[in-house]
Amino acid sequence: MTIVTTIDVHGMTAAEYARVMNRLGVEEDPAPGIYLHLTAQTDFGYRVVEIWDSEAGFDAFLADRLAPAAEAEGITREMQIKIEPLHNFFAPRIAELPGLIPSLPGGPVKRKP
């Protein structure tokens, strides 16, 4: 079953987010089973929303890649994780996204620890 994951990371800074993402290298080597990753800076830290092909794939990513990357960077933050079935996905301008991504502040071109 296709799922949506929401990870709320409390107190995370932009520099910490950049360090974890750089260590993960997901833009060059995405985890099997992920369809979409997006992040929003919030008043509490960061919210990460992803779409995965299965809960097992997400769980494997957490255990095998995300937790070790955060540990290697010395980052321990309070997190709330929600996993829910995907109900709908609508992206009428999806073809435009590759041109938008490099201009985003957290994108791989501009991300600095």
Give the per-residue pLDDT at 108: 64
Q: Determine the Cα–Cα distance for residues 109 and 107; give it in Å rounded to an integer.
A: 6
Q: Classify domain 3-103 by CATH number.
A: 3.30.70.100
Give the per-residue pLDDT at 112: 59
Spans of all domains in the chain: 3-103
Contacts of 77 (CB under 8 A, 6+ apart): 9, 10, 11, 12, 16, 45, 70
Look up residue 44 and give its DSSP letter: S
Give the per-residue pLDDT at 102: 80
pLDDT tens readout for residues 16-48:
999 999 999 888 899 999 999 999 999 999 999
